[in-house]
Amino acid sequence: MQEVIDIRSDTVTRPSIGMLEAMMKSEVGDDVFGEDPTVNLLQKKCAEITGKESALFVPTGVMGNQLAIKSHTEPGDEVIVESESHILNYETAAPSVISSVQLFPVKGEDGIMDPDDVRKHIRSAEYYFPRTSLICLENTHNRAGGTIQPLGNILEISSLARERGIRTHLDGARIFNASAETGISVNEYASHFDSISFCFSKGLGCPVGSVLCGESAFIEKARKWRKILGGGMRQAGILAGAALYALENNITRLKQDHNKAMIFAGELSGIERINIDAGKVQTNIVIFSLKDTPKNLFLELMKKRGVILSSGSYEFIRAVFHLDVTEEQTLLAVEKIRAALS
Ligand code: TLP
C-alpha cells in the first residue's frame, strides 16, 4: 500500500502511545459540576502559562474565539480583525450569529496589521456608528503562512486599544509555534491581551481541545456561554490528560516542524513551475502557488500520489508540518511534487 503523507494541516495528528497512556490514566469527574480534577489541573496550568487569572477548557479553537467575542462584546458592536484572519474567514460567520456583532476587516501585510490602519478604523463616538469594542490578532497567522506577529506591533496595537477602552483577544491557536521560534514566552505574548485562546489539537498533537484564558469574571461569562453552546463536556479529563501530556512533551519539539517546513520550502523553490518565497517561512506552514497548473488538478494528482495538501486561500496551496510527518517524508513529498510537475 502506498504511504500517505498528510500535510493538509497540523490538525491531522493522531495521539501517540505516550499520550494515549496519559489519557487512560487521567482521573475524571463531571466538569459541568467543576469536578473533573484533570480539567481543573489543566485550566490552572494554562492560566499560569498565560499569566491570566483563569482558564476554560473548550472543545475547539473556534469555540475559544467565539466565547471570547461573546464575552467581550455587546450586540451591535464592531470587532476589528485582520482581513485574512481565521475568525473572519473560517468561522462560518459565527460572530454575527452568536454575538450579533459586525467584523471590520483591516488588511494586513502577511497577516500583520499596521497600527495606524487599526487606529484609523476605530469608530468615533457618534451614535450612528457601531462601537468598536474588541480587536483580535492571530499569532501565528494561518492564512498568511504561519507568520509571527512582531512584538513591537502587538505592543502598539494593544496600547492603542487600552487608550481607547477597547478589549483585545489573541487567537493564539499556534502561539507555541510563535514562542518556539522567537523565544518570547507565551506569558509575554499573552500579557498584551485581555484574553488568549490556544489549541492543543494542532502542533501539540492532541486529538481534541483548546483553552481560553483571561480574567476570572470574563471566564465565568465564557463558561456560561460554553454551556449554552453545548460545550459542557462532562468527563473531559481524558482529553485534558492529553493536553497536559502535550504541554510536558510536545512543546520543545515544535522547532523540528519549523525546520521541516523550511526544508520543504527551500526544495520547492528549486522547482521551475512553482512560485514560492521560501524566505517567508517562519514556522510550520508553507504556502505556494503554481505557475501554470490548475490548483485543483494538482491537488487531486498529488492525493493520488499519496501527498495530501490543502487548498489555501486564493491561488495558494498550503502544507503544514507536524509531529506525524518525518524529515524523510518531507523530502519524499518534495520528490513526488517534483515528479508530478515534470
Ligand atoms: N485552522 C484549521 C482550519 O480551520 C483552516 C487549519 O487546518 O489550520 N484559529 C486558527 C488560527 C486556526 O488555524 C484554526 C483552525 C482555528 C482557530 C480553529 O480551530 P478548531 O479547528 O479547533 O476549531
How are strands ordered across the β-sheet holding 310-311? 274-275, 285-290, 317-320, 310-311
pLDDT score of 1: 79
Share of the chain above pLDDT 70, in %: 100
Whole-number Cα distances in Å, 231 to 51, 56, 226, 228, 297: 24, 11, 5, 7, 38
Cα-Cα-Cα-Cα dihedral of 330, 331, 337, 342, to 10°?
170
- The phi and psi torsions of 307 (rounded to 5 degrees) equal -120, 115
Q: Is 103 in the pocket of ligand 1 (CB under 6 A)?
A: no
- The phi and psi torsions of 341 (rounded to 5 degrees) equal -95, 5
Mean confidence (pLDDT) of the chain: 98
Taking residues 261-272, report their average pLDDT: 98
Measured distance CA(176)–CA(8) in Å, rounded:
19
Query: Could you tell me if 320 and 330 are in contact, meaning their C-beta atoms sit under 8 angstroms apart?
Result: no
Read off the C-alpha cell for 154: 502587538
Question: Whose C-alpha lies nearest to ligand 1, atom 13?
Answer: 142
Measured distance CA(308)–CA(300) in Å, rounded:
9
Q: Is 171 in the pocket of ligand 1 (CB under 6 A)?
A: yes
What domains are defined for the chain? 17-249 (3.40.640.10), 253-341 (3.90.1150.10)
pLDDT score of 40: 98
Question: Whose C-alpha lies nearest to ligand 1, atom 8?
Answer: 9
pLDDT tens string 243-261: 999 999 999 999 999 999 9
Taking residues 300-318, report their average pLDDT: 97
Atom of ligand 1 nearest to the CA of 201: 22
* Helix, strand, coil abundance in the chain, percent, nearest 5: 45, 15, 40
- Residue 2: pLDDT band (50, 70, 90) is confident
pLDDT score of 261: 98
Q: Is 91 in the pocket of ligand 1 (CB under 6 A)?
A: no
> How far, in Å, from the CA of 86 to the mean position of ligand 1?
7
Q: Is 149 in the pocket of ligand 1 (CB under 6 A)?
A: no
Strands (E), 181-302: 195-199, 210-214, 274-275, 285-290
pLDDT tens string 43-86: 999 999 999 999 999 999 999 999 999 999 999 999 999 999 99
**In the predicted structure, residue 92 carries a pLDDT above the cut 90:** yes
pLDDT tens string 109-143: 999 999 999 999 999 999 999 999 999 999 999 99
